[in-house]
Amino acid sequence: MISSEDSSSYIQSETQHYTVVSTFEKKNSLSIKLIFGKAEITRSAACIFEDATNALEHLFLPKQIFGIELESKGKEYQKFHYVLVVQSCDEGERGTVIPGISPGARVLIQTKNNVTSKKLYEALNTISRSGVDLTLIDPEKFHKLQDLLSLKIKPNFFIGELLG
pLDDT at 59: 93
Spatial CB neighbours of 3, under 8 Å, sequence gap ≥ 6: 96, 97
Instruction: Identify whether 121 is part of a domain.
Output: yes
Instruction: Identify whether 156 is part of a domain.
Output: yes
Alpha helices in 13-133 (DSSP H): 114-129
pLDDT band at 164 (very low <50, low <70, confident <90, very high): low
* Three-class DSSP category at 127: helix
Kind and range of the H or E element at 36? Answer: strand 30-36
For residue 122, what are the domain limits?
7-163
Spatial CB neighbours of 98, under 8 Å, sequence gap ≥ 6: 1, 68, 70, 84, 86, 104, 105, 107
Number of domains in the chain: 1
pTM: predicted TM-score of the whole model, two decimal places: 0.82
Q: Give the length of the chain.
A: 164
Instruction: Identify whether 2 is part of a domain.
Output: no
How far is residue 161's CA from residue 125's CA, in Å, rounded to a whole number? 16
Instruction: Identify whether 23 is part of a domain.
Output: yes
Residue 122: CB atoms within 10 A of its CB come to: 14
pLDDT band at 67 (very low <50, low <70, confident <90, very high): very high
Question: How does pLDDT run across 120-147, given as a tens digit for each residue?
Answer: 888 898 888 888 899 999 999 998 888 8
Instruction: Identify whether 53 is part of a domain.
Output: yes
How far is residue 27's CA from residue 4's CA, in Å, rounded to a whole number? 30
Q: Is the backbone peptide bond immediately before 155 cis, with ω within 30 degrees of 0?
A: no
Instruction: Identify whether 110 is part of a domain.
Output: yes
Instruction: Identify whether 42 is part of a domain.
Output: yes
Question: How does pLDDT run across 11-48, given as a tens digit for each residue?
Answer: 545 557 899 888 878 777 788 899 999 999 898 776 66
Instruction: Identify whether 1 is part of a domain.
Output: no
Average pLDDT, the chain: 81
pLDDT at 156: 64
pLDDT band at 112 (very low <50, low <70, confident <90, very high): confident
Lowest mean pLDDT across 28-32, 38-42, 49-53, 54-58: 49-53
Lowest mean pLDDT across 82-86, 96-100, 110-114, 152-156: 152-156
Lowest mean pLDDT across 41-45, 47-51, 99-103: 47-51
Q: Backbone dihedral region of 162: left (phi > 0), alpha (psi from -120 to 50 degrees) or beta? A: alpha
